[in-house]
Amino acid sequence: MNMILIAVVSLGAIGLVSAIVLYVASKKFAVYEDPRIAQVAEVLPQANCGGCGFPGCSGFAAACVKAGSLEGKLCPVGGQPTMEKVAAILGLKAEASEPKVAVVRCNGTCDNRPRLTQYDGVRSCVVANATGGGETGCFFGCLGYGDCANACQFGAIRINPQTGLPEVDETKCTACGACAKTCPRNIIEIRPRGKNNRRVYVQCVNKDKGALARKVCDAACIGCGKCVKTCPFEAITLENNLAYIDPAKCKACRKCEMECLQGAIVAVNFPPRKQRETVSAEIEQPEVKP
Amino acid sequence: MKTFRIGGVHPAANKLSAGKAIEPLALPRQAVFPLSQHIGAPATPLVKKGDTVKVGTRIAEAGGFVSAPIFSSVSGKVNKIDSVIDASGYRKPAIYIDVEGDEWEPDIDRSTTLLKTCDLSPEEIVSRIKEAGIVGMGGACFPTHVKLSPPAGCKATCVIINGVECEPYLTADHRLMLEKPDEILVGICILMKAAKVNRAYIAIENNKPDAIRLLSEKAKAYAGIEVIPLQVKYPQGGEKQLIDAVIRRQVPAPPALPIHVGAIVQNVGTVFAIYEAVQKHKPLFERIVTVTGKSLKTPSNFLTRLGTPMSQLIEAAGGMPEDTGKVIGGGPMMGKALMSTDIPICKGSSGVLLMNEHEARRATPQPCIRCAKCVSVCPMGLEPYLLATCSAHGDWDRVEHEQIMSCIECGSCQFTCPSHRPILDNIRLGKGKVGAIIRARNTKK
pLDDT at A35 over 50: yes
Q: Is A110 labelled as part of a ligand binding site?
A: no
The C-alpha atoms of residue B184 and residue B162 are separated, in whole angstroms, by 11
CA B283 to chain CA centroid, Å, is 17
Looking at chain A from residue 180 to 209, which residues have their Cβ under 8 Å from any Cβ of chain B?
A: 208
Number of Cβ within 10 Å of residue B295's Cβ equals 18
Burial class, A9, CB count within 10 angstroms (exposed 0-12 / middle 13-18 / buried 19+): exposed
A75-91: average pLDDT: 87
**Helix, strand or coil for residue B288?**
strand
Q: Shortest CA distance to B416 belongs to which of B355, B366, B375, B380?
A: B375
Give the separation between CA B259 and CA B161, rounded to whole angstroms. Answer: 14
For the cut 50, the answer to whether the pLDDT of residue A287 exceeds it is no
What string of DSSP letters covers B254-286?
Answer: TT--GGGGTEEEEEHHHHHHHHHHHHH---S-E
A240 CB near a chain B CB, below 8 Å? no
- Spatial distance between the Cα atoms of B29 and A166, rounded to a whole number of angstroms: 43
Q: Which residues of B are annotated as a binding site for [4Fe-4S] cluster?
A: 368, 371, 374, 378, 407, 410, 413, 417
Determine contact: A122 vs chain B, CB below 8 A: yes
Read off the amino acid at residue A107: N
If DSSP codes are grouped into helix, strand and coil, which group holds residue B219?
helix
Round to whole Å and give the CA distance between A180 and A148. 7
Q: Can you give the pLDDT at residue A53? A: 83
Is the fold of A100-193 the same as that of A194-290?
yes
Q: Searching chain B, which residue's CA lies closest to the CA of residue A116?
A: B339
pLDDT band at A95 (very low <50, low <70, confident <90, very high): confident
CA B119, B121, B125, B130 torsion-angle sign: negative
Distance from CA of A255 to the nearest CA of B (A): 34
Cβ contact A130–B429 (<8 Å): yes
Number of C-beta neighbours around residue A17 at 10 A? 10
The confidence score (pLDDT) of residue A273 equals 78
Please list, in sequence order, all residues whose beta carbon lies within 8 angstroms of the beta carbon of residue B242, skipping any fewer than 6 positions away: B4, B160, B162, B164, B203, B236, B265
What per-residue confidence (pLDDT) applies to B73? 94
CB contact under 8 A, A139 and B90: yes
Instruction: Measure in Å the smallest separation between the Cα of A68 and chain B Cα atoms.
Output: 31
Q: Which of A208, A214, A186 is nearest to A288 (CA)?
A: A214
Q: What is the DSSP string of A38-67?
A: HHHHHHS------TTSSSHHHHHHHHHHHH
- Cα–Cα nearest to B104, from B282, B275, B284: B282
CB contact under 8 Å between B336 and A122, yes or no, is no
**CB contact, 8 Å: A117 with chain B?**
yes
0.90 exceeded by pTM: no
Q: Which of B339, B362, B392 sits opposite A120 (nearest CB)?
A: B362
Which one of B88, B337, B429 has the shortest CB-CB distance to A126?
Answer: B429
Question: Is it the case that residue A186 has pLDDT exceeding 80?
Answer: yes
Question: Which chain A residue lies closest to B341 (C-alpha atoms)?
Answer: A117
Query: Best residue in A115, A127, A129, A208 to probe B by mutation, most B CBs within 10 Å?
Result: A127
A176 marked as part of a ligand binding site: yes
ipTM: 0.85
Cross-strand bridge partners of residue A167? A158
Beta-carbon separation of A133 and B392 below 8 A: no
Domain boundaries, chain A: 36-90, 100-193, 194-290
Question: Using the 8-state DSSP alphabet, how is residue B143 labeled?
Answer: B
Q: Is residue A290 very low, low, confident or very high in pLDDT (cuts 50, 70, 90)?
A: very low
Taking Cα atoms as reference points, which of B202, B198, B207, B195 lies closest to residue B181? B202
The series of mean pLDDT values per 10 residues for chain B, 445 residues long, is: 93 92 94 92 92 93 91 94 88 93 90 87 93 90 90 89 94 95 94 92 94 94 93 93 94 88 94 94 94 93 95 93 92 90 92 92 92 95 95 92 94 95 93 93 87
DSSP-derived letter for residue B122 is H
Please name which of B424, B404, B416 lies closest in space to residue B373, comparing C-alpha atoms.
B416
- Cα(B75)–Cα(B119) distance, rounded to whole angstroms? 31
- Confidence bin at A97 (pLDDT 50/70/90): confident
CA B63 to CA B440: how far, in whole Å? 20
Name the residue facing B422 among A121, A133, A208 (closest C-beta). Answer: A121
Q: Where are the alpha helices (DSSP H) in B132-202?
A: 144-147, 172-179, 181-195
Reported as type and span, the H/E element at residue B312 is helix B310-316
Name which of B91, B339, B425 is nearest A121 (Cβ-Cβ).
B425
Q: What CATH code is assigned to A36-90?
A: 1.10.15
Q: Is B429 left (phi over 0), alpha (psi -120 to 50) or beta?
A: alpha
Closest CA to B145 of B38, B282, B56, B226: B38
Residues near B233 by beta carbon (within 8 Å), at least 6 away in sequence: B3, B4, B8, B9, B10, B166, B205
Contact B91 A124 (CB under 8 A): no
Percent of chain A, pLDDT > 70?
94
> Is A132's CB within 8 Å of B432's CB?
no
Chain A residues whose CB is inside 8 A of the B339 CB are: 116-117, 132-133
Per CATH, domain B122-280 is 3.40.50.11540: yes
What is the interface size between A and B, counted as CB pairs within 8 Å? 41
Query: Which CATH number among 3.40.50.300, 3.30.1330.40, 3.40.50.1000, 3.30.70.20 corresponds to the domain A194-290?
Result: 3.30.70.20
The answer to whether B11 and B234 have CB atoms below 8 angstroms apart is yes
Phi, psi of B324 (to 5 degrees): -65, 125
| Interchain contact, A132 vs B91, CB within 8 Å | no
**What does the angle CA B4 – CA B10 – CA B15 come to, to the nearest 5 degrees?**
110
Task: Give the ranges where chain A is alpha helix by DSSP (H).
Answer: 2-28, 35-43, 56-67, 79-90, 125-131, 147-151, 178-182, 210-216, 226-230, 255-259, 275-288
B420 touches chain A (CB under 8 A): no
Alpha carbon distance B348, B437 (integer Å): 27
* Separation CA B202–CA B192 (nearest Å): 12
Q: Is the pLDDT of residue A13 over 90?
A: yes
Mention the CATH class of domain A100-193. Answer: alpha beta
Handedness of CA A27, A33, A35, A39 (dihedral sign): negative
A-interface mutation test, from B92, B426, B433, B434, most A Cβ less than 10 A away:
B426
Who contacts B325 (Cβ-Cβ below 8 Å, separation ≥6)? B355, B356, B357, B358, B359, B360, B361
| Helix residue ranges, H only, A91-238 | 125-131, 147-151, 178-182, 210-216, 226-230
CB-nearest to B425 from A116, A127, A139 is A127
Better-predicted residue by pLDDT, B69 or A81: B69
Cβ A159 vs Cβ A146: under 8 Å: yes
Contact check, Cβ <8 Å, A121/B88: no
Please enumerate in sequence order all residues whose Cβ is within 8 A of that of B382, keeping only pairs 6 or more positions apart, or say none. Answer: B375, B402, B403, B404, B406, B407
Domain ranges in chain B with CATH number 3.40.50.11540:
122-280
Residues of chain B in contact with residue A139, where contact means CB-CB under 8 angstroms, are: 90-91
Q: Quick check: B75 and B100 in contact, CB under 8 A?
A: yes
What is the reported pLDDT for B26?
Answer: 94
- Residue A115's CB: how many other CB atoms inside 10 A? 13
Residue B223: partners with Cβ closer than 8 Å, 6 or more residues away:
B198
Q: How far apart are CA B136 and CA B134, in angstroms?
A: 7
B55-62, long-range: CB < 8 A, 24+ apart? B55/B102, B55/B103, B55/B104, B55/B105, B55/B108, B55/B285, B56/B104, B56/B105, B56/B108, B56/B282, B56/B283, B56/B285, B57/B105, B58/B133, B58/B283, B59/B33, B59/B95, B59/B97, B60/B33, B60/B35, B60/B95, B62/B130, B62/B133, B62/B143
Closest CB to A133 among B89, B422, B426: B89
Nearest to A133 among B85, B422, B432 (CB): B85
* Number of residues written out for chain B: 445
